[in-house]
Amino acid sequence: MKERLLQSPVFQMASRQFDQVAEFMELPEEIRERCKWPKRLITVTMPVHMDDGRTEVFFGHRVQHHLSRGPVKGGLRFHPTVDLGEVAALAMWMTWKCALMRLPYGGAKGGIACDPRTMSGRECEKLTRRFAAEIMPFVGEEVDIMAPDLGTDEQTMAWILDIYSTHAGRLVPGIVTGKPVELQGSEGRREATGHGVAFLAMRALNKLGLQNKVATAVVQGFGNVGSYAAETMAWSGMKVIGIADVTGALWNDHGIDVCALREFTEVNGGVAGFPEAETIDPAELLLQECDVLVPAALERVITEENAGKLNCRVLAEAANGPTTPGADLILDQRGDVFVLPDVLCNAGGVTVSYFEWVQNLSRFHWSEREVLTKLETMLEGAFERMLHYAHDKGVSHRTAALCLGVGEVAEVKKRRGLFP
Ligand code: NAD
């Protein structure tokens, strides 16, 4: 019955991962149930006047996975395939991620089923503002704090902040993170997720005895996360030889000029047509020989079909849920790919979101250097905890990272007890 409510391949995947971890940790049944199921599942509808005069009704969801360790925190995505199950899965992963990073948050996620690529800026703004109004009774700077995700950005957060603050009668900067710096956003938040991905990829190369300066990388997705991951890796001396987005895939053996590509995509809306690289089949891109492969777009792109054919040393999971459990088994058996699991690899975003929220609540502003130094210290701590656990228990990096996250939540649930 409960599974049926959240029917979606992504939720099944998150659920299966949790069950395996709970089994390995021998969590008591009662704690297992309480950790697994989301606390609040909210669905709202937003009627919007479209530019052509029609009124279209959109569905939006917000799932607050659990509130035992503090307010909930998580992104808001705009994508055509968003459904409640997918949002619940992403909220669950956020829970383990926040706990792994020792942030005082539970996990949440939001999503609106829409295609921002086919909507005008005005339509996106109206949809965002109406969603903010509909969701207002369920969020707050001490309750649920949103951030950008797939298809949303700083501007989306600014509109949400505006609606919430207008109704509150005062500026409430802590209601969202990932907002523009002029609106009390944090220095370094825009690049935080990608910066964290690149930092961890370099730590992994270092553990394998490989040098950044001679390493190559392939990146799928050139949005917020993928572009900053590519840029940071290129700055560190790595050669980014392949990059894809929804419009196509590029290849250049000598390395793609990431800054030039960013300027090109800002004008042209995607990587397709970039003159300083060849095109390549997007599915083939993932299989090319490289040191670091960074899936930074959608879920379930590393599957049982392609996991055996990956030709990378490090798989840096910048996207959420890019690897299916079947593919995971294959990677475990191969043993030659250093996996940086999503809950750790993309945790730079929520960590700097946490810094932003702390700055907002304390009415203080940190420099970019302070932010990125603190970020690297926290990522390094979680990276070492994961490696230590994996080595100690003889498990994969993913199992180790999830066990550490789930363990923190289970302990809090046990300590707090059950009402009534
Ligand atoms: P974004 O919307 O800024 O960028 C998404 C990119 O993926 C775009 O370049 C798009 O063209 C590309 N893409 C979409 N479909 C594709 C396809 N079929 N093939 C190749 N590329 C495709 O989103 P983002 O914020 O960069 O998020 C990317 C991933 O990272 C998501 O899984 C998100 O949940 C995760 N994530 C984001 C953050 C953050 O701070 N933004 C934090 C943690 C995790």
Residue 227 Cα to ligand 1 middle (Å): 10
Q: List, as one string, the DSSP characters of 288-335.
A: S--SEEEE-S-SS-B-TTTGGG---SEEE--SSS-B-HHHHHHHHHH-
Q: 149 CB under 6 A from ligand 1?
A: yes
CB atoms within 10 A of CB 53: 6
Residue 150 Cα to ligand 1 middle (Å): 5
Q: 346 CB under 6 A from ligand 1?
A: yes
Nearest atom in ligand 1 to the alpha carbon of residue 347 is 43
Residue 168 Cα to ligand 1 middle (Å): 32
pLDDT at 389 over 70: yes
Residue range 132-146: average pLDDT?
Answer: 98
Residue range 220-234: average pLDDT?
Answer: 97
pLDDT of residue 6: 80
Residue range 406-412: average pLDDT?
Answer: 97
Residue range 106-131: average pLDDT?
Answer: 98
pLDDT of residue 1: 63
Q: 319 CB under 6 A from ligand 1?
A: yes
Where residue 363 falls (left for φ over 0; alpha for ψ -120 to 50; beta otherwise) is left
Confidence band of 264 (pLDDT split at 50, 70, 90)? very high
pLDDT of residue 7: 81
Residue range 378-404: average pLDDT?
Answer: 98
Nearest CA to ligand 1 atom 32: 319
Respond yes or no: is residue 109 known to be catalytic. yes
Residue range 190-194: average pLDDT?
Answer: 96
HSE-CB of 253 using CA atoms within 13 angstroms: 0
Q: 151 CB under 6 A from ligand 1?
A: yes
Mean pLDDT across the chain, nearest whole number? 97
Rg (CA), the chain: 20
Residue range 31-44: average pLDDT?
Answer: 96
Q: 404 CB under 6 A from ligand 1?
A: no
Torsion of CA 375, 377, 378, 382, to 10 degrees: 130
Q: 296 CB under 6 A from ligand 1?
A: yes
Residue range 169-175: average pLDDT?
Answer: 98
Q: Measured at the alpha carbon of residue 70, what is the angle toward residues 64 and 75, in degrees to the nearest 5? A: 45
Confidence band of 140 (pLDDT split at 50, 70, 90)? very high
Question: For a pLDDT cut of 70, what percent of the chain falls above it?
Answer: 100
Nearest CA to ligand 1 atom 36: 319
Task: Measure the CA–CA gap between 321 and 406, rounded to whole angstroms.
Answer: 17
Confidence band of 297 (pLDDT split at 50, 70, 90)? very high
Residue range 43-58: average pLDDT?
Answer: 98
Place of tokens 């690529």: 117
Nearest CA to ligand 1 atom 28: 297
Which is catalytic among the residues 36, 73, 97, 109? Answer: 109
Structure tokens at 175: 């209601």
Cα–Cα nearest to 195, from 24, 327, 378: 378
Nearest CA to ligand 1 atom 35: 319
Residue range 172-191: average pLDDT?
Answer: 97
